[in-house]
Structure 1
Amino acid sequence: MIRLFHASDLHFGSEDRQALDWFARCVADEQPDAVVITGDLTMRARHREFAAAREWLRSLARPVTVEIGNHDMPYFNLIERFVTPYKRYAAMESMVERTIDLPGLAIVPLHTTAPAQLRLNWSKGIVTRKALARTLGTMQALPSDAMVLVSAHHPLVETGTRGTALTRGGNRALRALARAGATAVLSGHVHDPFDITHANEHGQIRMIGAGTLSERLRTTSPSFNQLSIADGQLDVTVRVMA
């Protein structure tokens, strides 16, 4: 059996230290095969927030893949936001949008953020054709019998949570991922967990969202998802801090 811990929206700068310590203890005690973080490591993309996030992730001592969230691009330095928006991730480059291969399973990243968009709210999701093509290309290179989980920051379509993603290109991406054989898309952003099955003309694909380990709670206490894969079956347990 393969076990993954899926967490999101850590928001260093507004982190919940107790929740982070709880998650780290779970990792240390249970040794999951990998940790998937689906974006928003920081609150305002400050250098000190990235430094704290980097040290915490390294302390987990497990394979980690990290998605880029909308909060992880500079808020106050607009030149950097538009010219080198992901520069502050450089010190943890080996973790960022990393494809993780495990026996019979691959975790493949899908980029859903942009420094700017042709709408007022730049925090919402967008899947460009280039980003989708990169993900599909990675999937095509995998063994045909591998279960594929796609990791993204934004839910690709709305999931009924209080928070919204309003992801442009999300429906197109979800159809393409279903056609390519992805089992599920892991995401965050909305700060509440969900697990729903989306059907389209290419079949069914699950959308699995993690809550938050920050102080920015919505309707759920600090939580993360435990994913268990055995005999081609994916089971999800939402683990909520007591």
Structure 2
Amino acid sequence: MTAFTLAHLSDPHLAPLPQPKPSELFGKRVLGYLNWHRNRKHRQSRAFADALVTDIKTQHPDHIAVTGDLVNIGLDTEFAAARDWLRSLGQPHDVSLVPGNHDAYVRETYPRCAAQWLDYMRGDGADTQTQLAFPYLRKRGPLVLIGASTAVPTPPFMATGTLGQPQLAVLERVLSQTANNSFRVLLIHHPLRAKHWHKRLTDAAALLDILRRYGAELILHGHDHKHSLMWLDGPARQIPAVGVPSTSAAIGGKHDAAAYNLFRVAHESDAWRCDWSVRGYSEARDGITELRTQRLI
């Protein structure tokens, strides 16, 4: 079987930050605005994000997954700019998106996700869908892409995520029903194990329990802005959960420099094979290079 190639990127935090109206600077946004000008604008570069998109296209992936945080402080104008960036990646059929906590930065503008990005978060057979509905399912080649949302508005200084019982119930059913005939890829913004309490997935324990019983072949996430691989317990074998740095992270910043993942999935001898490579920037080299290759399954 010919390998199916899935690209994964996350947390573009698209720059530059538009100048907010005075009426838009309230509550959590004030802190985010100050943080942007003191810190993030020196660490997030649109040039790095655009270069990664160009490099992705040279790899000719069959599909692209984006695991959230397209915007910064939830300004109205940020959502339209992020829609244009998504279009630069590809058509909605070829790009699957889940939102991150910054996309739900304030309750008032979180609905802009549906208004501007819905086509990239619409499950198969949901052509008349006009509101966000998670989790969604998309079948692409041998993959079943399951897009879950952990994006919820949170108080200042908090960056937690929550799935909620309705999503967990659907995830349990879907993972059970697709266990024997598909390569299941769960897309989620928050990692299932968090180093910092204020950045955690609040109901991670419930999702980990579902995964122990029904499994998945691969989990993709963002949020941490770093290269990561963790192994989670499944019913028959451990499940790889892979994170990735911010798409726009500059070299020499607080976190790992901009990069993206590539997964090549094939069915061989009645078993799945998944090879993982990472392309991006490093401290030691100029330009985008291959940073890592590894067989996951």
Q: TM-score, normalised by structure 2?
A: 0.70
Counterparts of 1:95 and 1:130, CA distance in 2:
21
Q: Which one of 279, 284, 288 corresponds to residue 239 of structure 1?
A: 279
Q: Which one of 161, 182, 185 corresponds to residue 125 of structure 1?
A: 161
Number of the residue aligned with 1:187: 221
Number of the residue aligned with 1:221: 257
Aligned length: 232
Say yes or no: does 1:11 pair with 2:13.
yes
Counterparts of 1:203 and 1:122, CA distance in 2:
34
Letter in 2 for 1:233: R
Counterparts of 2:248 and 2:73, CA distance in 1:
13
Give 4+ residue runs of structure 1 displaced > 6 Å after superposition.
Answer: none
Deviation (angstroms), 1:215: 4.0
Change (3 A) 1:163 1:5: farther
Counterparts of 2:198 and 2:192, CA distance in 1:
10
Change (3 A) 1:30 1:149: same
Say yes or no: does 1:110 pair with 2:148.
yes
Q: Which moved more, 1:126-135 or 1:182-191?
A: 126-135
Deviation (angstroms), 1:171: 2.3
Deviation (angstroms), 1:68: 0.9
Q: Which one of 93, 108, 118 corresponds to residue 118 of structure 2?
A: 93
Change (3 A) 1:173 1:43: same
Q: Which moved more, 1:131-140 or 1:225-234?
A: 131-140
CA contact 1:10–1:214 (8 Å) conserved in 2: yes
Kindly name which structure, 1 or 2, has the bigger radius of gyration based on alpha carbons.
2
Number of the residue aligned with 2:187: 151
Deviation (angstroms), 1:34: 0.8
Number of the residue aligned with 1:174: 208
Change (3 A) 1:201 1:64: closer
5+ unaligned residues in a row in structure 2: which ranges? 17-43, 124-136, 282-286, 288-297
CA contact 2:79–2:112 (8 Å) conserved in 1: no
Counterparts of 1:116 and 1:20, CA distance in 2:
27
Q: TM-score, normalised by structure 1?
A: 0.84
Letter in 2 for 1:71: H
Number of the residue aligned with 2:98: 67
Letter in 1 for 2:227: P
Number of the residue aligned with 2:4: 2
Number of the residue aligned with 2:20: none
Change (3 A) 1:121 1:167: farther
Counterparts of 1:214 and 1:177, CA distance in 2:
31
5+ unaligned residues in a row in structure 1: which ranges? none
